[in-house]
Structure 1
Amino acid sequence: MKGYLKAHTHFFLPSEQMAEYLDLPEKTSYSALPPAGDSNQVLPLPDSALTLFYVGGIGAHYKLNAFIDAARSIPQIRVNLVTRKKQWDEAIASYPTFQSPQIHPYHLNANELDDLYAQSHIGVLAVEPSDYRRFAVPLKLFEYLSRGRPILVTEGTEAARIVSSFNAGWVVPYTAEAIAATLRRLQGNRAEVQAKAANAVSAAKVNTWADRARTVADTLTGKSK
């Protein structure tokens, strides 16, 4: 790190908030460069019962308990949950309530998710907030957007800030009651889901990997100044 600082290197960080945790010197040059999504991946919303989609880990750093409890309280919704089998087995051993009619676990690779995306209305990032999540930017955030899926995300996270900036989802407290109230409202208001999905599509158009490459080029050549 000292060598990079001495060379006056420009740092690309997942978010500007990460600079606080790196304790960079005051005059350090840095900017945000979050992940992105692929272009031309948008899928239409399905005509089915409200279906939510979560892809990622489950466990100490990916606590979904409040979201799962909320989903379990609403019989008419469906949650497609993709995670590693080992993590799923450990989760249900610790929290047997994860096994419920609303929760459908899958153990798939990244290139096997198209059908589940096509079945879904909303992507889920409703994990327990933490210091790490104050600056972390999940890759799945932009993958959800690239498929035209609005996002349910917990407040107090960098992911929530990004979703709010595009009005492409719902920012909720990390409580089962708050999440359940939002899900019940959306069950009876598909127009709201469609409007947020349209915003997700708009966000996806300006958050592709090509956009990120242009940002890097413009920053390093001084065009962004």
Structure 2
Amino acid sequence: METFMKMIFHLSRPFDKHALSASGIRPRKMLQAFRDLGYEVETVIGTRSVRRQAVREISEKIKNGTKYEFLYSESSIAPTLLCNNIFPLALFLDFYLFRLCKKNNIPIGLFYRDAYWLFETYTTWRSKIKAFVFRLLYRHDLRQYNKFLTKMYFPSVEMAGYIPIINKAMIDSLPPGHDGVRLEEEYRPKNSLTLSYIGGIGKYYQMHELIKGVSKIPQIKLLFCLRKKDWDRVKHEYGELPGNVKILHKKPEELTPVFAETDITLLFMRPHEYRKFMVPFKLFEYLGFCKPVIASKDTLVGNIVQENGIGWTIDYSATSLQELLERLLKNGEEIYKIKQHIVATSNCHTWAERAKKVARDLRQST
């Protein structure tokens, strides 16, 4: 009799051990979370040839009586057909695995990453012909998901409303997580504050008002931690930076000292329709480090911050930011009270809790 819980973890590309973005970090976190829960995990991850061999082995094990509780998958940024640039074999391989699981009553949950392809700006990144083809392939993915999935997870339920061709009954949210709350030292009065932003910058991440607002208060220091290639692409838009703004280029494993220096974190960027449903990956990492958040109104993350009492949600303007920071400089205890609230409420947002939810949802579906 088998004593281990067994599951399958699918990703239609290799792991990127040096990934700096959410698309590379999230699958690793979820895989480790399932293992930490005690699951014996069969992985279908890697190049086409590696995945093909893994699928063959799983198929053989199923024939020989091995029972899997469920399959969990994370979608890739590219359409499934184009993963690893193999045409059209990757399509048959990955959806063959889904068909195999459905045939053998193994429930399937998939996390759907983003929806940039639905917006007009998608065509500005590539030729119109290429964008047209990619959109057809994304829609093909959705039709396949409708056939095979038990649960389709999104960063937010709001995002699901933008996605066509989806059975609404299988929709649920599965936001990012964090590794666990790190409690800080007791409150000490300060006459300065350090802010930090860690993440992307570009068309969907415009923060000009942030720089303007910070520049007006010398007691504020901003650690602006960005991928170098992203900053090089847009730095001409921001001109000469004020002396209290420091640009950093750090790998994920190098961020702990940045958080240690930080009093307040930032998701203060220009509202965009995309921001009405996206949940930034860094929000939950900020909470894991017990850092309050300043976010913009008219964004989903701004609503989350306000509703959960984990920071401040303000208009996206330099004036609004300046007024808030000046108030917090005079009332540091307000910051510490929010940190205490984060400690008390954020353990339900760990990666372990995200994995538990998936396991519970899919087990209950059988």
Q: Same fold (TM over 0.5)?
A: yes
Cα drift, residue 131 of structure 1: 1.2
Asked if structure 2 preserves the Cα contact closer than 8 Å seen for 1:45 and 1:118, the reply is no
Q: 1:74 aligns with which of 188, 202, 217?
A: 217
1:174 corresponds in structure 2 to: 316
1:202 and 2:341 matched: no
2:194 matched to 1:65? no
Q: Which structure carries more relative contact order (alpha carbon 8 Å, separation 6+)?
A: 1
Alignment of 1:106 onto 2:248:
yes
Quick one: distance in 2 between partners of 1:70 and 1:191? Answer: 22
Q: Distance in 1 between matches of 2:178 and 2:258?
A: 17
TM superposition score normalised by structure 1: 0.91
The CA deviation string for residues 73-100 of structure 1, in whole angstroms up to 9 with x for no partner, is 1111101111122333443322214x11
Distance 1:8 1:59, change over 3 A: closer
Contact 2:181–2:287 (Cα < 8 Å) also in 1: no
Write the distance in 2 (CA, Å) between the matches of 1:119 and 1:6: 49
Which shifted more, 188-197 or 80-89? Answer: 80-89
* CA drift at 1:8: 5.6
Query: Structure 1 residue 95 and structure 2 residue 238: aligned?
Result: yes
Q: 1:25 to 1:186 in 2, by over 3 A?
A: same
Distance in 2 between residues matched to 1:81 and 1:201, nearest whole Å: 25
Alpha-carbon distance change, 32 to 24 in structure 1, aligned in 2, over 3 angstroms: farther
Q: Is the 8 A contact 1:45 1:120 kept in 2?
A: no
Residue in 2 that maps onto 1:125: 267
Is residue 151 of structure 2 the alignment partner of residue 19 of structure 1?
no
C-alpha distance in structure 2 between counterparts of 1:27 and 1:193, whole Å: 40
Once residues 165 and 152 of structure 2 are traced to their aligned partners in structure 1, the CA distance between those partners, rounded to angstroms, is 10
Q: 188, 191, 197: which one pairs with 2:330?
A: 188
Q: What is the CA distance between 1:25 and its match in structure 2? A: 4.8
Does the CA contact (< 8 Å) of 2:143 and 2:165 recur in 1? no
The superposition leaves residues 105-137 of structure 1 with CA deviations (integer Å, 9 ceiling, x where unpaired) of 111111101111111111100011111111111
Contact 1:33 1:212 in 2 (8 A): yes
Task: Give the secondary structure class of the aligned counterpart of 2:354.
Answer: helix
Gaps of 5+ in 1: none
* Alignment correspondent of 1:3: 144
Alpha-carbon spacing, 1:20–1:105, altered in 2? closer, same or farther (3 Å): same
Name the Cα RMSD after superposition.
1.9
Q: Closer, same or farther in 2 for the Cα pair 1:161/1:107, shift >3 Å? A: same
The verdict on how the C-alpha distance between 1:8 and 1:115 changes in structure 2, with shifts beyond 3 A counting, is closer
Normalised to the residue count of structure 2, the TM-score between the two structures is 0.57
State whether residues 15 and 34 of structure 1, in contact with CA within 8 Å, keep that contact through their aligned partners in structure 2: yes
Q: CA deviation at 1:40?
A: 4.6
Over 3 Å counting, the alpha-carbon distance change for 1:111 and 1:45 in structure 2 is: farther
Counterpart Cα distance in 2 of 1:8 and 1:92 = 43
1:217 counterpart = 2:217: no
State which drifts further: 125-134 or 81-90.
81-90
Correspondence for 1:152: 294
Paired position in structure 2 for 1:50 = 193
Work out the number of aligned pairs and report it: 222
CA contact under 8 A between 1:56 and 1:82: conserved in structure 2?
yes
Q: Displacement of 1:185 after TM fit?
A: 0.7
**Distance across 2 between alignment mates of 1:183 and 1:54:** 15
- Residue 62 of structure 1 aligns to which amino acid in structure 2? Y
Q: 1:60 to 1:8 in 2, by over 3 A?
A: closer
* Alpha-carbon separation, structure 2, partners of 1:177 and 1:113: 29
Q: Which residue of 2 aligns with 1:34?
A: 175
Q: Does 1:163 align with 2:302?
A: no
Give the Cα separation in 2 of the matches to 1:28 and 1:205. Answer: 28
The structure whose residues are more often helix, as a share, is 2
